[in-house]
Amino acid sequence: MNGAEALLRTVRAAGVDLCLANPGTTELPLVAALDAVPGVRAVLGLFEGVCTGAADGYGRMTGRPALTLLHLGPGLANGLANLHNARRAQTPVLNLVGDHATWHVASDPPLASDVESLARPMSGFVRTSASAKSLASDAADALAAAVGPPGAVATLVVPVDAQAAAADGPAPAPRPRAARMPDDAAVAAARAALESGAPVLLLLGGSALAERGLRAASALAARTGARLATDSFYARLERGQGVPAVERLPYFPEQAVSWLSGFAHLVLAGTRAPVAFFGTEGVPSQLAPPSCEVHALAGPGEDAAGALDALARQLAAPSVAVPPRERPAPPRGEGALDPASLGQALTALQPEGAIVVDEAATSGLPYALAAPAAPPHSVLALTGGSIGQGLPCAVGAALACPERRVVAFQADGSGLYTLQALWTLAREGLDATVVVCANRAYRILRVELGRAGIAEPGPAALALTDLGGPALDWTALSRGFGVPASRAETPAALSDALARSFATPGPSLIEAILP
Amino acid sequence: MNGAEALLRTVRAAGVDLCLANPGTTELPLVAALDAVPGVRAVLGLFEGVCTGAADGYGRMTGRPALTLLHLGPGLANGLANLHNARRAQTPVLNLVGDHATWHVASDPPLASDVESLARPMSGFVRTSASAKSLASDAADALAAAVGPPGAVATLVVPVDAQAAAADGPAPAPRPRAARMPDDAAVAAARAALESGAPVLLLLGGSALAERGLRAASALAARTGARLATDSFYARLERGQGVPAVERLPYFPEQAVSWLSGFAHLVLAGTRAPVAFFGTEGVPSQLAPPSCEVHALAGPGEDAAGALDALARQLAAPSVAVPPRERPAPPRGEGALDPASLGQALTALQPEGAIVVDEAATSGLPYALAAPAAPPHSVLALTGGSIGQGLPCAVGAALACPERRVVAFQADGSGLYTLQALWTLAREGLDATVVVCANRAYRILRVELGRAGIAEPGPAALALTDLGGPALDWTALSRGFGVPASRAETPAALSDALARSFATPGPSLIEAILP
């Protein structure tokens, strides 16, 4: 058994069953091992950001790490942007990055680079295996770091000679660890805040946004008058009919500061005190007012849902029935589409149990407001702000949950960074509906130019924020990658296209033309 | 004048006239400065690897650095693969990477990461500007590092508050430095080797592959019997009728070792002693035999062409006329295309002064052998082995030389990493002919599997090296980005399509279907 096979058997025994790969010459022993070791599905991405973003989506839906298999420093580099999002989502991911044979590195061959320096900013664990003998135990260590809790991106650099040489067999799989319950003092402080009578915000993240956490939080809210919110971006949220709704912190910092200004206490469950996405002159980085007392009920690696549950029991907060919400009808208008009709159509038509990967950016707000009236579904958001996450994440979510429909709700500018994901949707026959919000601009930058006081951008600023000239044809791009596609210019056409896509197995893309 | 404008005026005064940008919120003051400072053309890439690869192509053709403008750590990360190629080509490039406001970093906002750690492996210069006051002089230092000689990738991290705050005005532009002539001892040693009567290989890179270097080298070869070769991959080579031809080192190391085995002396002009691209068990990293004496006539930052010229004068080696070579006719066959007919068609039809960006990989060899019979042209190759360089590099070459036709001779697997470059070709109306060699596989990996002893790859190995299922439709992808496209399945159809493309201003793409 060579090092590659020993590595793969080690992680397989620990439950790893997916490898998102874009390999090259230095990863061929691992490629061969994927045939020798049963149970690890190999899925090809045409670009590394597809692999890493898919690993993020897979990890968010299963709680388990997928492998990525990447080709030296440049291959890893291509995957870093989506690893950045995975790191911020605390998603478990195990990157395997091939490298030159150990004896060849000193000659500085053309593809050599400092892989660890590249990996470190986006990884909680980085190691280079020294030899075939250590590959399996290195992989076990990396896996332990990846699963946490909290989940983390772990990067193991695997020289090709270590993959190919004889090994001693697999290493013991790491023992899974459960998330810790927070200590009594943290629970007591949160309880005191909730019972203080002063205005309290319960800010939820991580497992607090799963159904159990949301039910406990809403019971606490009903019992104490606390308000519930999420960060602007979260790793995964359960939403829809029967699921308690939470508000979302505004994205722009001055709005968030205003929104948070009345709270005397901030209780954190599965997240941290909110920070401005970008710094804005005259607006503080920390968005909660200085007078607000911050209580960390459950921090990273702690069981946020369990802590909320325990607190609800302590306070004898009975669970609260969620009243039915009126679901809108599919829009039938023949005028122009806009974000509101887009949100209405999705809410009206999305099937039960959908997984919505939301990278719709400026086109997404009306849908987010309407979607609690849709059937229960999961939402995955852009935790790290590194755009180009949506389509790859949709690939991973669909691989994780083949029985659920994935909806990639996708801004056009962001989608172009990693559009190669469409091909993997087609190759694997994944049940995904891609809705491209085609406003043909980096709209957020137009907004930000205005906020920066540039009321009348010059030709360079306009050119650098405009995606028309030539207009992109997403239906052609989609068909080029093997995904059937259509264009919708009216609410009625969009409703028809969505209904058709949801009723048809496999992927399809709808280009929704927005003003 | 704010920091952004002071920076831009500094580099403009030093001759910088192009900014390849994919900006975000933290780069908006620089975006606005592009409107305030005349003379720096702003070109949008839809993905950062397009910007960096274009900067590489532009730098190879002009010898001058373009700016890139990238969005924090993840934006830089997306551009690193092509910066890796630029670094190996010693191309001057000046990256400007926006970052959070200095006062905001301590809060660790979602998009924060260690930008310098990401930049360092691919950069010869890395600095983070501390304030608006230092931005202009930091840019001058970065520019000096970029232009060398030798050329280098310089990365300047520019916090948004440093861009926006008041500055003292531009800094003095760095003084251009000429490449040094090598010292007399190096010239004397090379001369002694050339006059030794033993077999000598003159290995050429850098400016030795420009016309002046090639003429001097061929005079030396005629006078002394030395053979002339290039590395397998070079930054830029002049080739075609009237230009002295050079051989190319084989790519596979065992072939290169055999090819080099007879030489007693290796004289290096503008390159280093050849190293195996990948390590192969049983084949040395250093490809020249241990008995071969290596003489560095001109190393990095030295004037290789000038040194060859001086040596030719010392040896009274008269310049050699290059006999005309028989140019093939365009193939008119109606059978299947193959790399040979592809190479014949290109050689027969490419216009005078073309710039050929060669990322054709396994489909490219017959063309490389035939092309000395084409009209004079420049060739840009994949120096760093990081694939996805071809289309972006073609963008940059076309921006550098609007009067010349660019031919992107492109393998399909490699082209998919950065296909967004097609849109910039369309938007800027660049005279580029993209020829996609559609063999629908990572063919080189199939070859490498065989070399690794995996004669019958299993289903995973086959799936990870196959690009069929579904077959990519490059004509649809191209039209989706606004570039007219056609498909050629026969030599006759390819000849017609090439002739049409070369006669039509602006870009077009030809998908050449290969077995």
Interface A-B, measured as beta-carbon pairs within 8 A, has a size of: 306
Is 90 exceeded by the pLDDT of residue A262? yes
Taking CA atoms, what residue in B is nearest to A466? B44
How far is Cα B40 from Cα B37, in angstroms, rounded to an integer?
7
Between CA B99 and CA A28 the distance in angstroms is: 38
**Per-residue pLDDT averaged across A296-313, rounded?**
96
A94 or B362, higher pLDDT: A94
In this structure, chain B runs to a length of 515
Give the distance from residue A10's alpha carbon to the nearest chain B alpha carbon, in angstroms.
Answer: 19
β-partners of residue A248 are: A230
Q: SS3 for A402-436, per residue?
A: CCCCEEEEEEHHHHHHHCCHHHHHHHCCCCEEEEE
Q: How far is B118 from chain A (nearest CA, A)?
A: 5
Radius of gyration for the alpha carbons in chain A, expressed in angstroms and rounded:
23
Which residues on chain A are in Cβ contact (under 8 Å) with B426? 470
Cα–Cα distances (Å) from A82 to A363, A384, B73, in that order, read 21, 8, 11
Q: In the prediction, which pLDDT does B300 show?
A: 86
Best of B5, B108, B113 to substitute, by most chain A Cβ atoms within 10 angstroms, is B113
Closest chain B residue by Cα to residue A276: B109
Question: Residue A154: its pLDDT value, please?
Answer: 98
Q: What is the model's pLDDT at position A172?
A: 97
The Cα B70–Cα B461 span in angstroms is 36
| Structure confidence at residue A218 as a pLDDT band (50, 70, 90) | very high
Beta strands in A182-311 (DSSP E): 200-204, 227-230, 237-239, 247-248, 265-269, 293-298
Residues of B with CB below 8 A from A419's CB? 420
Closest CA to A194 of A312, A321, A322, A319: A312
Q: What's the pLDDT at A453?
A: 86
A322 band by pLDDT with thresholds 50, 70 and 90: very high
* Cα–Cα distance for residue pair B476/B148, rounded to 1 Å: 42
Tell me which residue of B379, B364, B358, B396 sits closest to B49, measured CA to CA.
Answer: B396
CB contacts of B279 in chain A (<8 Å) are 100-101, 103-104, 109, 160-161
pLDDT exceeds cutoff 90 at B322: yes
Which residue in B26, B113, B480 is closest to A473 by CB distance? B480
Instruction: Count Cβ neighbours within 10 Å for each residue of A481-503 and write b for 16 or more, e otherwise.
Output: bbbbbbbbbbbbbbbbbbeebbe
Angstroms from A455 CA to nearest CA on chain B: 11
Q: Choose among B23, B35, B76: nearest CA to B52.
A: B76
| Nearest Cβ partner for A120 among B117, B426, B469 | B117
Q: What percent of chain B has pLDDT over 70?
A: 100
Burial of B205 (0-12, 13-18, 19+ CB in 10 A): buried
pTM: 0.98
d(CA A217, CA A236): 16
List CB contacts (< 8 A) between A103 and chain B: 279, 285
The per-residue pLDDT for A506 is 98
CB A249, CB A230: distance < 8 Å: yes
- Least confident window among B77-86, B216-225, B444-453: B444-453
CB contact under 8 A, B110 and A275: yes
Q: What is the dihedral of CA B67, B68, B72, B78, to 10 degrees?
A: -150
Closest-approach residue (CA) in chain A for B34: A460
Q: A138 to each of A71, A155, A158, A178, A403, how far by Cα in Å?
A: 19, 10, 10, 22, 34
Task: Place B269 in a pLDDT band, splitting at 50, 70 and 90.
Answer: very high
Burial group, residue B88, by CB count within 10 angstroms (0-12, 13-18, 19+): buried
**CB of B200 closer than 8 Å to CB of B226:** yes
pLDDT in tens, B57-111: 999 999 999 999 999 999 999 999 999 999 999 999 999 999 999 999 999 999 9
Instruction: Using CB atoms, pick whichever of B161, B445, B460 lies closest to residue A42.
Output: B460
Instruction: Look at A423 and B47 and tell me if their CB atoms are within 8 Å.
Output: no
Establish whether this prediction's ipTM goes over 0.90.
yes
What average pLDDT does range A339-350 have in this prediction?
98
Q: Where are the beta strands (DSSP E) in B160-288?
A: 200-204, 227-230, 237-239, 247-248, 265-269
What is the spatial distance between Cα A245 and Cα A242, in angstroms, rounded to a whole number?
9
Are residues A481 and B482, on separate chains, in Cβ contact within 8 Å? no
Helices (H) and strands (E) in chain A, counts: 20, 18
Contact A44 B477 (CB under 8 A): no
Do B328 and B228 touch, CB atoms closer than 8 A?
A: no
Structure tokens of A251? 């994205």
Nearest to A375 by CA among A409, A347, A342, A403: A347
Cβ of B482 within 8 Å of Cβ of A472? The answer is yes
Mean pLDDT taken over chain B: 97
Task: Answer yes or no: do A276 and B448 touch at CB < 8 A.
Answer: no
- Give the minimum alpha-carbon distance from A189 to chain B in angstroms, rounded to a whole number: 24
pLDDT for A455: 83
Please name the helix (run of DSSP H) or strand (run of DSSP E) that holds residue B407, with its range, or none. strand B406-411
Angstroms from A289 CA to nearest CA on chain B: 15
B385 phi/psi in degrees, rounded to 5: 75, 5
Are A46 and B109 a contacting pair at CB < 8 A?
Answer: no
Subunit contact B448:A161, Cβ cutoff 8 A: no
- Give φ, ψ of A497 to 5 degrees: -65, -40
Taking an 8 Å cut-off on Cβ atoms, the answer to whether A103 and B161 are in contact is no
Contact call for A480 and B472, based on CB within 8 A: yes
Measure A276 CA to nearest chain B CA, in Å. Answer: 7
Task: For residue A140, give every residue at least 6 positions away whose Cβ sits within 8 Å of its Cβ, in sequence order, or none.
Answer: A10, A11, A14, A171, A172, A173, A174
SS3 B318: coil
Q: Indicate the DSSP class of residue A201.
A: E
**Partner residue opposite A117 with nearest CB, options B110, B121, B452:** B121
DSSP string, B222-250: HHH--EEEE-SS-S-EEESTTS---EE--
State the smallest CA–CA distance between residue A35 and chain B in angstroms: 6
Mean predicted confidence (pLDDT) in A309-337: 96
* A478-493 mean pLDDT: 98
Compare CB distances from A28 to B31, B449, B459 and report the shortest one's residue.
B449
Structure confidence at residue A362 as a pLDDT band (50, 70, 90): confident
Residue B238 CA to residue A55 CA, distance in Å, equals 44
Rounded Cα–Cα distance for residues A287 and A283 (Å): 8
HSE-up of A273 (CA within 13 Å, CB side)? 19
Inform me whether the pLDDT recorded for A138 exceeds 90. Answer: yes
d(CA B395, CA A216): 56
Q: Which residue among B28, B383, B445 sits closest to A25, beta carbon to beta carbon?
A: B445
Cβ <8 Å between B477 and A473: no
Q: Is A427 within 8 Å of B470 when comparing Cβ atoms?
A: yes
Percent of the residues in chain A that have a pLDDT greater than 70, as a whole number:
100
Task: Say if CB A358 and CB B48 are below 8 A apart.
Answer: no
The mean pLDDT value for A349-361 works out to: 97
Q: Torsion-angle region of residue B11: left (phi > 0), alpha (psi -120 to 50) or beta?
A: alpha
Q: Which of A96, A417, A425 to mutate to test the interface with B (most CBs of B within 10 A)?
A: A417
Please tell me which residue of chain B has the smallest CA distance to A233.
Answer: B110
Give the pLDDT confidence of B290-312 residue by residue, as tens digits: 999 999 999 988 999 999 999 99
Q: Which residue of B lies nearest to A115 if distances are taken between CA atoms?
A: B121
Buried b (16+ CB within 10 A) or exposed e, A125-151: bbbbbeebbbbbbbbbbbbbbbbbbbb
Pairing state between β B125-128 and A247-248: unpaired
Q: Are strands A237-239 and A377-380 parallel, antiparallel or unpaired?
A: antiparallel
Residue A101: strand, helix, or coil: coil
Q: Can you give the pLDDT at residue A475?
A: 98
Q: Least CB-CB distance to A459: which of B35, B388, B465? A: B35
Phi, psi of B198 (to 5 degrees): -80, 165
Q: Which chain A residue is nearest to residue B413, measuring alpha carbons? A: A46
Task: Tell me how far apart the alpha carbons of residues A212 and A313 are, in angstroms, rounded to a whole number.
Answer: 13
- The answer, yes or no, to whether residue B22 has pLDDT greater than 90, is yes
Cα distances (angstroms) measured from residue B51 to each of B213, B355, B363, B416? 30, 19, 26, 16
Cβ distance A32 to B386 less than 8 Å, yes or no, reads no
Q: Taking residues A5-25, report their average pLDDT.
A: 98
- Give residue A66's pLDDT: 98
pLDDT(B452) > 90: no
- Partners of B286 on chain A (C-beta within 8 Å) are 107
Whether residues B460 and A164 touch (CB distance < 8 A) is answered with no
- How close does chain A come to B146, measured CA to CA in Å? 19
Interface contact flag, B42 A463, Cβ < 8 Å: yes
* pLDDT at res. B313: 96
Quick: pLDDT tens for B32-50: 999 999 999 999 999 999 9
pLDDT on residue B351:
98
Mean pLDDT over B460-476 rounds to 94
Instruction: Say whether B285 and A107 touch across the interface (CB within 8 A).
Output: yes
**Do the Cβ atoms of A48 and A416 come closer than 8 Å?**
no
Return the residue matching tokens 């009126």: A326
**Band (B238; pLDDT cuts 50, 70, 90):** very high
Element (H, E) at A257: helix A253-260
> What DSSP designation does B296 have?
E
Give the model's confidence band at A223: pLDDT under 50 very low, under 70 low, under 90 confident, else very high.
very high
Mean per-residue pLDDT, B125-147 = 98
Strand order in the sheet with B265-269: B247-248, B227-230, B200-204, B265-269, B293-298
The two three-digit tokens of residue A394, written as one number: 């949709």
